[in-house]
A = this chain, B = another copy of it.
Amino acid sequence: MSASDLTIEVPSGFLFSAIAAGIKPSGRPDLACVRIPGGASAAAVFTTNRVVAAPLEVDREHLKRSRGRVSFLIVNAGNANCATGAAGRRDCERVCREAARLLKAGAERVFPSSTGVIGVPLPAEKIVRALPELIAAQAASEQAAEGFARAIMTTDTRPKIVSRRVRAGSGSFALLGIAKGAGMIHPNLATMLVYLFTDVEANSRELQPLLHAACDDSFNCISVDGDTSTNDTVLLLASSGSGVSLRAPGVRAKFTQALNEVCKELALQIISDGEGVKHVIRLRIEQARDRKEAMQIARTIAHSPLVKTAWAGADPNWGRILAAAGRSGVPLDPGRINIFFGDLQVCREGVAAEFDEREAHAYLTQPQYEVRVQLGRGRTSLDFLTCDLTTDYVHINADYTT
């Protein structure tokens, strides 16, 4: 799928642009920005990693000082500005200050993001020099939005764009999501960045819980290292350009649904574009006591090299899944566990079910399929997206690149 085939719904109030500033060795576009002339209300979710890149520290401070208002988003790819110490922080602040000066706005209204190599100084000079051209190129077009999506890519093989237009009363609002994936988890480039733009009218306090909930069911349910890299950021910006208020009757429910859908679709695009990925697996944990234990089991299964390599070979080896669940730390009764590949039951109450291995193997050769694990402990279900672990993945990541 080429992003060019898509109709991109661009919410009003946002201007996009991207250029090549010489940060990526490839010479491709690597500096992108979004300007919101009227300002936007912001909600954000950041990585939980203790090692945090400089821009995330700056973002947190700026959002606090601006009370959740953003006028300018600037993203560079090719350098994560992480593990760069006090100099990294100063470099990031310098870029923000320069952008603010050009835009005649407060620096606290600038939201910086970086993705790329860790431990290498940010080429702040290159970025600062490129800012006037970058800002001059801004447009509200679909092409400009796609250009933004392409410029923030690192190991992604395709841009990740999902958009919706939602009717509400006599008007409508748009929601546009743009993401860069974590490859599978790439050498120095493990970051997941997600930007969600809407022209609904809402304040920062109203948006934050909606964004948290949407992330929980999407980006927190995929097994890239995404949720734990040093730069991960999900940012939601609302420009109010549509004139449709979140507080108007029925709008909150519609917006919440659109936000959840867009986040889930972006999450699926991120997993599908993982490095070396041949199979995308929807891992469904059923009959858990609560969401916490379902998540614990899903993650243990999804992170098991044993399970992931079996999936790479379309091997219907349910024993590995059972053993991974067994070591998850949840006090399971193995005698109550059922495992299904699609509709085909392969494990019944902890022991082998009678099944046709060739049928199971054929099912697992599909590019996308479902694995269900029933725990017999409760009523909670969880969907978790994951992928296989292939020799391509090792090749990509084992190459001596530094």
Contacts and interface: CB of A to CB of B under 8 A. Distances in A.
Interface in A216-262: 225, 228-230
Contacts of A357: 402
Given A83-B347, A119-B351, A351-B119, A190 B323 contact: yes
A326 B398 contact: no
Interface in A46-90: 48-52, 82-85, 88
A265 interface: no
B187 A327 contact: no
Tell me if A's interface is mostly helix, strand, loop or mixed: loop
A84 B401 contact: no
Interface string A326-344: 1100111111000000000
A105 interface: no
A349 interface: yes
Contacts of A352: 83-84, 119-120
Interface in A378-402: 389-391, 393-395, 397-402
A215 interface: no
B319 A397 contact: no
A228 to B, nearest CB: 4
A319 B82 contact: yes
Contacts of A318: 119
A95 B9 CA distance: 69
A397 B307 CA distance: 9
A38 interface: no
A123 interface: no
Nearest to A348: B85
B327 A398 contact: no
B322 A51 contact: yes
B400 A323 contact: no
Copies of this protein, total: 2
B394 A317 contact: no
Contacts of A230: 323, 326
Interface string A356-393: 01000100000000000000000000000000011101
A325 interface: yes
A376 to B, nearest CB: 13
Contact of A83 (B309, B350, B398): B350
20 contacts: A50-B327, A51-B323, A51-B326, A83-B347, A83-B352, A117-B319, A118-B320, A119-B322, A119-B347, A119-B351, A187-B306, A187-B320, A305-B305, A310-B397, A315-B399, A315-B401, A357-B402, A389-B394, A391-B395, A394-B394
Interface of A: 48-52, 82-85, 88, 117-120, 185, 187-188, 190, 225, 228-230, 303, 305-306, 309-310, 312-320, 322-323, 325-327, 330-335, 347, 349-352, 357, 361, 389-391, 393-395, 397-402
Given A83-B334, A309-B393, 17 more contacts: A51-B326, A82-B319, A83-B322, A85-B335, A85-B350, A118-B323, A119-B318, A120-B352, A187-B317, A225-B327, A229-B323, A309-B394, A310-B397, A310-B398, A361-B400, A390-B398, A391-B395
